[in-house]
Chains A and B, each alone.
Chain A
Amino acid sequence: MNEKQISNNKVPVPRYLVAISPSPHSQFLIHRTRKLALEQDASWMAVYIQTKQELSEEDNNNLKANMKLINAMGAELVVSMDNDIATGLIRIAKQNQITQIIIGKPQLKYSRVPFFKPSVITKLISKSDDIGVLIISENVTGQKRSKLLKWTNPVNKINIREYFLVTLLIIVLILINFVLDNYISYLSVGFIFLAAVAIVSTLFKRGPVLFFSASSAILWNFLFITPRNTFYIDHLEDLFMFFMYFITAIIIGNLTTRLRVKEHFLRKREKNLEELYQMSRILNKANSQDEIIQNSLDFLKQILNSGIALFIKEDNNQLSVNYTKGFGLTEEEKKPIEWCFDQGKPAGKNTKEFHSLSNYYTPLLTLIKPIGVLVIQRDSQPEFTIEQENLISALSLQIATAIERSEYIKSQQKIKLAEESEKMYKIILNSVSHELRTPITNISTAANGLQDNDLLKNEEVRNIFLTDIIDGVDRLNRIIDNLISSMRIESEKMAPNFDWYDISDIVNSAQKKLSKLFEKHTFSKHIEKDLPMFKFDFILLEQLLTNLVFNSIMHTHEKSKIDLDIHFRDNILKMIVSDDGSGIPDSEKQNIFNKFYRIKGAKTGGIGLGLSICKEIAELHQGEIHILDNIGNGAKFIVNLPIEASNVKEEELT
């Protein structure tokens, strides 16, 4: 390509742009471009520049066919508005880092005769700078090029109503002017006509405006310029004036309608852009896939004013309805939906496939694969215009991309979760195997000792062995209890079993469980008197308390003092477990509630689950747990539970 790029030592990635028109020849161009791109492993896009020319119905259909072909090939299609095709193509080419523009060479007999302006191709080449222009000659056989590129501006339909209206207006104007003629000169009448031309040109299409301009000029001449009732004009001045009028009227008419057409296009474009913008805003705001689907389809339904349904391919490879609004789907629609998904092409009404059905099916395509099918209810509504079809495909691309993105995020999260659980699994394995092995070793040593006849005879030794076995079993039991609780809390099936209980019951129950361990420590409890009943999960809260107290026993010196304080203030049940041990360093405080976290150098006997379970249980009761330093020394665990208290007064009972 150009020298600059070569000197930069970069091999430019070829990127093709094919300019399409409503000509059937464009299909040939599209195929050629695709082939070219495939051969070089290059990317390509197609561009249609919309000028202010209106298209005939045949042109419209050709253009649609061309666009569908591009969509079917999965290429990017850009539709842009520009007065000049060449300028528009260059603009888009530059925006998209295009290296080659591919354009058809029109056959002369059908092409626009370049009267005043240079042909599109000449202009394109002169403006293309470092973009290559590839002109491919037309070799369409048997297909006639449409009338579009003939010199005349085609008007879709002669609008009889408009012609009738302007004719009526002329008659009325003439009648008024006949009346006014008695008071004013024919020159003023001319100005009235001219003003009417200006007004008419803002209201009607070009044809009727030109008709109005011409006929008003002629009638002005015929009826008002002397000699009257002839086309003949006496004075040179009048003749001059007549021609001036004629030219002015035509120019005004032409200019105004041109402005209007442009404005119309701009407004349409702005509306499309606004809709696309709104859609992207809606999609950005949505947090979940569900929200994306709900909100974007509500919006689509609103702007298309039709019923909308969406099918998404599920993990089980089934297309299933994710959304439907405004209408129901019938059994016979299964086939077109499947087809649309498999082929990645629209189907249904106004398409080649399944056109007998009343709905329109368009695939939700992402860059990688189709992810679903959008169904738009058509029934008796008119065929989509090109703009509408483009808008639908742009919007569905947006929706598809948003859904894909949310799925991607979801799968990323899954991967992360899997990685984390892998890590967790290793930690569990390590700490569990270590913590299980210690008591098992103790039990097995003691049991082996008991098998020894000599040792068995010594009652003191025998008792030591038996105590070892029982202690070991207790320890194993505690570990298993915690593992089970942790699993129970984590599995989503676990729903706390809330009921009314007396808080001192859980204290007793926990105390009983730990009674053997209290022998070497001082435990004192202070429970507020006359507490009401509270609603909580007995087993879980008892475990919380047991774990907290056990934690204090485990991590403090022998003969340490452990206090339990329970009171109820401001609708919060507070449980405080404090000890006079060595406390917990500030740097560890935030970690101790993490699963399988153990303070370095801590005594064996736990697997780092106890406090994490406490935290989870507190949270299951909408509460929280935190740790402070005890006054003096030691640690102080505080559990705050905003649990429901019974308001039944004892006096109410009989």
Chain B
Amino acid sequence: MKAGGLILVVDDEVQIRRFLKISLESCGYQVIVTETGKDGVSLVATENPDVIILDLGLPDMDGLDFVSRVREWSKTPIIVLTVRDSEKDKVTLLNSGADDYLTKPFGLNELKARISVAFRHKNTLINSAVFHLGRLYIDFSMRLVKMDDKQVKFTPKEYAVLSLLARNAGKVLTQSYILREIWGPHSQEESQYLRIYVMQIRRKIEIDSSNPLIILTEPGVGYRFVSEEM
């Protein structure tokens, strides 16, 4: 797949840097690498990359620091590489401006999918009035959802959750973000409602709601609506 675009890799491990440079360049991206957070921040400023891949656990800078410093002036998508068992850190990072995460060890295909989603979402949400994925068709302007050309009824809240997820297709959305977007700022206690809405939406759009293929659960983090790339 030839894509083009500039990717900045910030990782202190030489193997990962080498692997990412070789494999991403072979996909047609331009890649610059650095091993410190400090250099990373200044490279964001000077090189203006399209996507940043940030490894957590840099020796010189906390990942959260990096994200918030970059977010002071840049909207460049940041994909964070984490290890398992840091769900809280992931959520904190996502809520403070990181766009997505990948748990190590990860496959190259997974990373490429994340990168292309990041490119697509760079700057804004999907603004097109319609969304199409497999059998599912959503017309945002009409608030209309169709499965196999048959209209499916959604309650207003169900629709709100579905459209929020679909507009961010490919991207992970944290639970607290979804709650804030739909129920307002003081709604962190409503998580069980969110689960129930997601379950109901799945029943309507998934072939097997107990084995969902469209709305995926990201353990301990939130939900991800799949996109064509995945």
Select B195's contact among A485, A501, A539, A542, beta carbons within 8 Å: A501
**Residue of chain B at shortest CB distance from A510:** B219
Q: Complex Cα distance A648/B210, Å?
A: 19
Contact A497 B220 (CB under 8 A): yes
**Residue of chain B at shortest CB distance from A476:** B105
Can you list 30 A-B contacts with CB-CB less than 8 angstroms, sorted by A residue number?
Answer: A477-B105, A481-B85, A484-B85, A499-B175, A500-B191, A502-B217, A504-B209, A504-B210, A504-B211, A505-B219, A508-B211, A508-B212, A527-B210, A533-B196, A535-B192, A538-B219, A538-B220, A539-B85, A539-B220, A542-B219, A648-B192, A648-B193, A648-B196, A650-B196, A650-B200, A653-B157, A653-B196, A653-B197, A654-B155, A654-B156
Q: Complex Cα distance A497/B91, Å?
A: 13
* Residues in B55-88 with C-beta less than 8 Å from chain A: 84-85, 87-88
Chain B contacts for A497, CB-based, 8 A: 87-88, 220
A416 at the interface (CB under 8 A from B): no
* Residues in A533-583 with C-beta less than 8 Å from chain B: 533, 535, 538-539, 542
Q: Complex Cα distance A508/B208, Å?
A: 11
Interface residues on B, range: 20 to 34
Contact A646 B219 (CB under 8 A): no
Chain B contacts for A499, CB-based, 8 A: 175, 191
Q: Complex Cα distance A258/B8, Å?
A: 104
B199 at the interface (CB under 8 A from A): yes
B52 at the interface (CB under 8 A from A): no
Select B193's contact among A485, A508, A509, A653, beta carbons within 8 Å: A653
Select B217's contact among A488, A508, A646, beta carbons within 8 Å: A508
Q: Complex Cα distance A66/B73, Å?
A: 84
**Residue of chain B at shortest CB distance from A646:** B192
A507 at the interface (CB under 8 A from B): yes
Select A500's contact among B87, B192, B210, B211, beta carbons within 8 Å: B192
Q: A486-509 interface mask toward B, CB cutoff 8 Å, 1 = contact, 0 = none?
A: 001000000001011110111111
Chain B contacts for A542, CB-based, 8 A: 219
* Residues in B171-204 with C-beta less than 8 Å from chain A: 175, 191-193, 195-200
| A-B pairs with lowest CB-CB distance, top 3 | A500-B192, A504-B210, A505-B217
Interface residues of chain B, those whose CB is within 8 Å of chain A, are 84-85, 87-88, 105, 155-157, 175, 191-193, 195-200, 209-212, 217, 219-220
Chain B contacts for A533, CB-based, 8 A: 192, 195-196, 199
A473 at the interface (CB under 8 A from B): yes
Contact A646 B196 (CB under 8 A): yes
Q: Complex Cα distance A485/B85, Å?
A: 8
Chain B contacts for A507, CB-based, 8 A: 210
Q: Complex Cα distance A485/B83, Å?
A: 13
Interface residues of chain A, those whose CB is within 8 Å of chain B, are 473, 477, 481, 484-485, 488, 497, 499-502, 504-509, 527, 533, 535, 538-539, 542, 646, 648, 650, 653-654
Q: Complex Cα distance A484/B103, Å?
A: 15
**Residue of chain B at shortest CB distance from A484:** B85
Q: Complex Cα distance A646/B196, Å?
A: 10
Contact A509 B217 (CB under 8 A): yes
Chain B contacts for A500, CB-based, 8 A: 191-192, 195
Given contacts A502-B199, A508-B212, 12 further A-B contacts (CB under 8 A): A473-B105, A477-B105, A497-B220, A499-B175, A499-B191, A502-B195, A502-B217, A533-B192, A538-B219, A653-B193, A653-B200, A654-B155
Q: Complex Cα distance A376/B197, Å?
A: 65
- Give chain B nearest CB distance to A418 CB in angstroms: 27
Q: Which has the most chain B C-beta neighbours within 10 Å: A497, A505, A509, A527?
A: A505
Q: Known: A484-B84, A500-B192, A646-B192. Is A509-B219 also a contact (CB below 8 A)?
A: yes
Q: Known: A500-B195, A502-B195, A533-B192. Is A539-B156 also a contact (CB below 8 A)?
A: no
- Give chain B nearest CB distance to A477 CB in angstroms: 7
- Give chain A nearest CB distance to B120 CB in angstroms: 25
Chain B contacts for A648, CB-based, 8 A: 192-193, 196
Chain A contacts for B197, CB-based, 8 A: 653
- Give chain A nearest CB distance to B86 CB in angstroms: 10
Q: Complex Cα distance A533/B200, Å?
A: 12
Q: Complex Cα distance A527/B210, Å?
A: 9
Q: Complex Cα distance A88/B55, Å?
A: 85
- Give chain B nearest CB distance to A531 CB in angstroms: 9
Q: Complex Cα distance A507/B209, Å?
A: 12
Chain A contacts for B209, CB-based, 8 A: 504
Q: Complex Cα distance A539/B197, Å?
A: 21
- Give chain B nearest CB distance to A527 CB in angstroms: 6
Chain A contacts for B156, CB-based, 8 A: 654
Q: Complex Cα distance A533/B212, Å?
A: 16
Q: Complex Cα distance A508/B218, Å?
A: 11
**Residue of chain B at shortest CB distance from A537:** B220
Q: Which has the most chain A C-beta neighbours within 10 Å: B105, B195, B209?
A: B195
Contact B155 A653 (CB under 8 A): yes
- Give chain A nearest CB distance to B207 CB in angstroms: 14
Contact A654 B87 (CB under 8 A): no
- Give chain B nearest CB distance to A599 CB in angstroms: 27
- Give chain B nearest CB distance to A57 CB in angstroms: 73
Chain A contacts for B217, CB-based, 8 A: 502, 505, 508-509
Q: Complex Cα distance A646/B198, Å?
A: 15
- Give chain A nearest CB distance to B69 CB in angstroms: 28
**Residue of chain B at shortest CB distance from A500:** B192
Q: Complex Cα distance A166/B171, Å?
A: 104
Chain B contacts for A504, CB-based, 8 A: 209-211
